[in-house]
Amino acid sequence: MAEPDPEALVAFRELAGEARAGSLSVALNPTEFSALDAACVAFKDAIRGVQVTMQQAGRAGAQWGLGEDNGRLSSAIDLVAKYRELATGDSNSMHAVLEEHYKVAQEMQTLFQVIRDDYIRTDEEFAAKWREMNTEIESGPR
């Protein structure tokens, strides 16, 4: 498995900084910002779900059903140990790699929120549409 690329995280942090400074230009409407935010939330939720599965799989005593409970099957014992390590072991485990993806998704979401907030501050029409959308969402079916 490849090492996580920290440059992606840095790139989104830099873009968020440019957006805060007002030097980044993006043209989107409120619906698109809402969809981007929802996609980031869904992706982060999916990552957390897989991480929970990896934690459960990596837990000592978790049964994999590969014959690891049979002392004569040393290869099954070794294989399960390797899978546990890949699930939650070191910085190259599935859990750790997914954490890097989560951080990138969080930075993307922050970037979109900073840009959206700038639109709200500077564009009355955009702000009105955003408030209307949020009112509809909040008063919708529960």
3-state SS record for 53-103: HHHHHHCCCCCCCCCCCCCCCHHHHHHHHHHHHHHHCCCCCHHHHHHHHHH
Residues of the chain with pLDDT > 70, as a percent, come to: 90
Alpha-carbon dihedral sign for residues 87, 91, 97, 102: positive
pLDDT above 90 for 42:
yes
Least confident piece of the model among 10-14, 50-54, 65-69, 95-99: 10-14
DSSP code of 121? H
pLDDT number for residue 137: 67
CB neighbourhood size of 134 (10 A): 12
Q: What is the pTM of this model?
A: 0.72
